[in-house]
Amino acid sequence: MRERGNGNVEGDLLKGLAAGVIGGLVGTWTMSQFQNLLTKLSEDGGSSDSGGGDEPATVKAAEAVSENVFGHELAKSEKPAAGEAAHYAMGAASGAIYGVMSEFAPTFTVGAGIPFGGAVWLIADNITVPVLGLSKAPTEYPLSTHAYALTSHMVFGLTTEIVRGAVRRAL
């Protein structure tokens, strides 16, 4: 960011966007590793799957995009990779928004990205995904599933902010 003559701070859209995307991608990877660790540590191997059925919401989203945009029905063997691609696309998009918002409203980074992760959890997992029919309603999941998902998204937000900030300083 640079200071204008009138004392206002002017951000750099492209640098904020790039730093946010990179942060979001690394945040998504870290969140996935965190979830894998929690799953291994849990006695029942519990899952936070917000898919509301046989398949995770990310796979359902990937299927919808593949069928409606590309006219291609995913084969069973394509679904895991497509679900991962959808998850990383969501992380990159969320990171991009966060990076741009952080550039022009630095107070957006208060809390080291943890409130951002909580907002992604609330808006994506609890509102958007159910509204799109990719999961059951939030009230149909136990509190433990929400705690797992919220904690995972807070890890995502924290990592996104740490990486975004480092990349932004390097640009």
**DSSP characters for the chain?**
-EE-TTS-EE--HHHHHHHHHHHHHHHHHHHHHHHHHHHHHSTT------SSSSS-HHHHHHHHHHHHHH--PPPGGGHHHHHHHHHHHHHHHHHHHHHHHHHH-GGGGTTTTHHHHHHHIIIIIIIIHHHTTSS--GGGS-HHHHHHHHHHHHHHHHHHHHHHHHHHHH-
pLDDT reading at 81 higher than 70: yes
Given this model, what pLDDT does residue 11 score?
Answer: 78
In the predicted structure, residue 99 carries a pLDDT above the cut 60 = yes
Mean pLDDT (the chain, rounded): 89
* Weakest mean pLDDT among 19-33, 58-72, 149-163: 58-72
Predicted TM-score (pTM) of the model is 0.85
Please report, for the chain, the start and end positions of each structural domain, with discontinuous segments joined by +.
Answer: 11-41+84-170
